[in-house]
Amino acid sequence: MSSSYSAFASIYDELMNDIPYDAYVELLDLASAGVLGKKVLDIGCGTGLLSAMLAKKGAHVTGIDLSADMLEVASRRAQSLSLDIRFIEQPMQRLDVEDTFDAAVISIDSLNYVIKQQDVVETFRRIYGALATGGVLLFDVHSLCKMDEIFLEGPFVFDNRRIAYIWQTAPGEENHSIYSELAFFVKQQDDSYQRFDEVHMQRSFAVPEYVQMLEEVGFHIERIFADWEDEAPEEESERIFFQVRK
């Protein structure tokens, strides 16, 4: 990530306001037989939107993220809502928590930011170790179609009159990876615009590869579905969901 990540954290929520976080809550609630009173790991929690929603449902939430700036926003959110959420700064492949958890979630393709396959396996291994027997992991990733085709149809532009960006993409060095350069323009009180730039890299793997990595560390695959629907992934699916259990 670039050094301007603090600026990105300040506008992240506005850029993500079309993400159905409530659907994640419902999915995890169903998979966990209710999150009330459960210990939940929100991995790649960002600004804590999902953490707060889970805590409001009665879950005991621990949020994990590698960005101190994101976690600062998340902590302020929790305090403003009088929610008792613990936030820890660490990359998911170095997950190190003392408690044993009933559920874990990696939402909004956060796992795709883990580029090396051995680090994805290590992420699964550490989550497995942090879960109680019977604990569930729910996560989503970009499909290969999205990585190899849809993302490369850029550049993409966005403008809501307060925030604008130009997003340019190119294939990354690894298979099924992308390299993204984003230029953001954020309107200031004097109607001028502040520019800052971000560089992001993401990578995905084929569904059978994820299955192999998950089973390698001991997870049992319960459900694989796509695009928020209870249907099997197809060739043109964009977001693949996994529900697995220890």
Q: Give the whole-angstrom CA distance, residue 43 versus residue 139.
A: 9
Q: What six digits make up the tokens of 192? A: 């001028």
Q: Give the whole-angstrom CA distance, residue 76 versus residue 179.
A: 31
Q: Which of 7-11, 172-176, 184-188 has the highest mean pLDDT?
A: 172-176
Element (H, E) at 70: helix 68-80
Q: How far from each other are the two terminal CA atoms of the chain, in whole angstroms? A: 32
Reported pTM? 0.92
Query: pLDDT tens, 26-79?
Result: 999 999 999 999 999 999 999 999 999 999 999 999 999 999 989 999 999 999
pLDDT at 4 over 80: no
To the question of domain 146-203 being in CATH 3.60.15.10, the answer is: no
Topology of domain 5-142+205-245, CATH:
Rossmann fold (3.40.50)
Same fold, 5-142+205-245 and 146-203: no
Query: pLDDT tens, 135-170?
Result: 999 999 999 999 999 999 989 999 988 899 999 999
Domain residue spans of the chain: 5-142+205-245, 146-203
Single-letter residue type at 74: A
